[in-house]
A = this chain, B = another copy of it.
């Protein structure tokens, strides 16, 4: 029943990962509930006259022992920028946990996880949670340049790391959909993706053609984040669904793409 909360978290870390991405680790006062890849939190951005609503960020890492959760925050506009300026020991108020979650794959399945930009956050979380043999997991991370990539070396124990960059400065040159691990999608039992809309659509198109199970996590403009305002809709075969509550994870077969 009362499975969601609003709470002040303590900022225990704020590390700049690269030119535009920050890792923000938040410690809860009460014990965290179990959190799942795909879920997000809605953050109150304080101290700006022109930011009124909260801002949604995916859960990237959870540590139940420390009672912390981490976000990867990319500077996009005024709210995200302000959030990256938050300091250790300040409080950060979040609404959580929000959204549905990715379907956890079955043992033995071969999976491809694709993250673009700050969309890597839920993908790395998912890789960790899957609990699969690293050999059966391909992680494909895409960004514009090497600079924009987040260091994911720690995640090689959860899957094979592959990189794509538009300028070829890290991994293969081009979009993720041009990467060699993306060439034959029939190799995978499941594909999961999170990233910019255009990327999600390109992936969905290929996954559909290859008839492979594929879940994508969508981003759009939210007012409430928990399903009451109906602002964040995505058209589906079953009508308009909320990205914040019915999503953010959708099976591509349910989308009208």
On A, residues with C-beta under 8 Å from B are 46-49, 52
Contacts and interface: CB of A to CB of B under 8 A. Distances in A.
Contacts of A47: 46-48
A23 B233 CA distance: 52
List the 6 closest pairs (A to B, CB-CB), nearest first: A47-B47, A49-B49, A49-B52, A46-B47, A47-B48, A48-B49
A86 to B, nearest CB: 13
Contacts of A49: 48-49, 52
A50 to B, nearest CB: 9
Contacts of A52: 49
Contacts of A48: 47, 49
A87 to B, nearest CB: 11
A52 B52 CA distance: 14
6 contacts: A46-B47, A47-B47, A47-B48, A48-B49, A49-B49, A49-B52
Contacts of A46: 47
